Chains A and B, each alone.
Chain A
Amino acid sequence: MKRDRQLLVLFLPCLIFYIVFRYGPMFGLTIAFKDYNVFEGILGSKWVGLKHFIKFFSSNDFWLLFRNTLALGFFSLIFGFPVPILLAIMLNELRVKWMRKSIQTLTYLPAFLSVVIISSMVIDFLSPSSGLINKLMAALGFEKIYFLIMPEWFRTIYVASDIWANMGYEAIIYLAAIAGISPTLYEAARVDGCSRLRSLWYITIPSLMPTILIMFILKTGNMLRIGYEKVLLLYTPTTYEVADVFSTYVYRKGLLESNYSYAAAVGMFEALIAMIMLLSANFISRKAGGKGLW
């Protein structure tokens, strides 16, 4: 019919886009099983089976990357997850309206800054010579710390800057959930002589629980999708041992050293784990709350 044809015409660019740029790369992944050669292309290169996977799994890099990716994801989740919830609850408890609005606006600001800017601020603040933190520590009589070249500091820096940048943004969902709680519950509680703290404990937190649960499950599912851009900007060869994650390794091996096939194999392994985690998280969240992300 004419109308169907018109709709199809409108849909065509989208279809082409998904085929070429979303499904195309999936077929491009076959190079993980080949020795990719620029001149022969993806189709023409020779099949080598699992060679690259075996090489990767038997190398020391594998465990290092596995540990680092998991650790960064895990620490970001454990320390980063509760902060927006606390922030939202505290903001909600703040009764002075203009103050609540302005603090919310302020904490929300870093979400608009780019990773490059956030990373450069981190570097600036931690710099041993001119950084504020080191100046403060010097004033208190401590030694200078070369934060960014010391492996033991990397995770702390990564997680802390993540919290700083994202707490206001992530608090929005919880604030909205709190706004959805019926005021009659609070009124009834007050009539019954409930203090603010008690109504917080018995009404706000339980009402937030479903949202918290779903967000937690989804975050767990996304744990491996850590912000590799920030890692890329903040790490140095001296901190590779704790900072190098699958994506940064893929970038270095693949794009900087042109080991396309090997890097594609690593990337495929990462994608596989990430997919399994996300699918199971979604499955659990459907079971638990009746509402998945999809």
Chain B
Amino acid sequence: MVGESKLNLFGVINALILCCIGLMTVYPIIYIFSISISDTASVVQGKVTLLPRGINFDAYLEVLKDKRIPRAYLNTIFYTGFGTFINLLLTAIAAYPLSRPDFFWRKYWMIGIVLTMFLNPGIIPNYLIVQGLGLTDTVWALVIPNAIWTMELIILKSFYESMSSQVRESALIDGASEYRILFNIVIPLSKPALASIGLFYFMGHWNSFFLPMIYLTDSSMYPLQVVLRDMLIFDDGAKTGLVDAAALAPQAKKNATIVLSMIPVLLMYPFAQKYFAKGIMLGSEKG
């Protein structure tokens, strides 16, 4: 198969279709970007179809002047950083005992944990618990109720299990405590696995909008996605398109906001590709 360089009809058609698919996937993203850096006149006249026209960054300056966005941006960075840290910490320390064959009642803990993947009581009881604990309108509401994702816990547990036990055992003989073994040996050795589940957690926090929307009422605490939703989707009848005149001019500004919100995700993309794929595979195999 490999090394066969003969040009045939099948190969050419296949390549053409795939190029179309590839273009279709990125086209909306390029278009959004082009609108955001084109001048207002070109945007309003609908001249921008692929590449930007009359390049300027006014829309970005405008966005940064709007107090809501820089603040929301900082909020998101904070929630994502703090949230991912808590996620990783709790998952890492929980997976360790569960990976030990001799851990007390291990089988029952695992059954209890896996069962929660089937039993999902829905929004209302979760909301009442969070509210009852007084977490609404605090960061904790975004961090604690989803501190551990069961799938990621299972992935990490299987990763720990697959690690060679020799290093751990020699440390045990040297009299190291379980804490020391975990923090000085197991965690440093599981960096690739932590990176891959960390990415899922990161993406989860960065892109989350539903939980902040229901748990935060103070608009100064809103993360980017909630502000984006208010601006892009519930603003000035943009959705139904009934308010045409109003929807036109701010288009560049809206798109600049979208681009700004995508930057960190796009920066992580090269790494993400590597670790995300790994995470998906682990998840699909071990589950």
Q: What residues of chain A have their CB less than 8 Å away from a CB belonging to chain B?
A: 3-4, 6-8, 10-11, 13-15, 17-18, 20-26, 28-29, 31, 36, 41-42, 87, 90-91, 93-96, 99, 102-103, 105-117, 119-121, 123-125, 127-132, 135, 146, 148-149, 164, 168-169, 172-173, 176, 183, 186-187, 190, 196-197, 199, 229, 232-233, 236, 247, 250-251, 254-255, 260, 263-264, 267-268, 270-271, 274-275, 278-279, 293-294
Flag if B228 contacts A115 (CB, 8 Å): no
Flag if B125 contacts A29 (CB, 8 Å): yes
Flag if B272 contacts A21 (CB, 8 Å): no
Main secondary structure of the interface of B (DSSP, over half): helix
Once A120-B254, A148-B239, A149-B240 are accepted as A-B contacts, the answer to whether A233 and B116 lie under 8 Å apart by CB is no
B244: A residues at CB distance < 8 A: 128-129
Instruction: Provide the bound-state CA to CA distance between A41 and B276, in Å.
Output: 42
Task: Decide yes or no whether B41 CB sits under 8 A from chain A.
Answer: no
Flag if B123 contacts A247 (CB, 8 Å): yes
Task: Decide yes or no whether B18 CB sits under 8 A from chain A.
Answer: yes
Distance in angstroms from A170 CB to nearest chain B CB is 9
Task: Decide yes or no whether B78 CB sits under 8 A from chain A.
Answer: no
B54-62, B63-71, B176-184, B190-198 - the one binding chain A? B176-184
Task: Decide yes or no whether B203 CB sits under 8 A from chain A.
Answer: yes
Flag if A255 contacts B121 (CB, 8 Å): no
B262: A residues at CB distance < 8 A: 113, 117
23 contacts between A and B (CB under 8 A): A4-B104, A6-B178, A8-B97, A10-B97, A13-B90, A13-B147, A14-B153, A18-B113, A26-B121, A90-B18, A94-B14, A102-B22, A106-B26, A112-B266, A112-B272, A114-B225, A116-B229, A123-B233, A128-B241, A130-B248, A250-B122, A268-B121, A271-B122
Flag if A28 contacts B277 (CB, 8 Å): no
Q: What residues of chain B have their CB less than 8 Å away from a CB belonging to chain A?
A: 1-2, 4-5, 8, 10-11, 14-15, 17-19, 21-26, 28-29, 31-32, 46, 49, 90, 93-94, 96-98, 100, 103-104, 109, 112-114, 116-129, 132-133, 144-148, 153, 177-179, 182, 203, 206-210, 214, 225, 228-229, 232-233, 238-241, 244, 247-248, 251, 254-255, 258, 261-262, 265-266, 268-269, 272-273, 276-277, 280-281, 284, 287
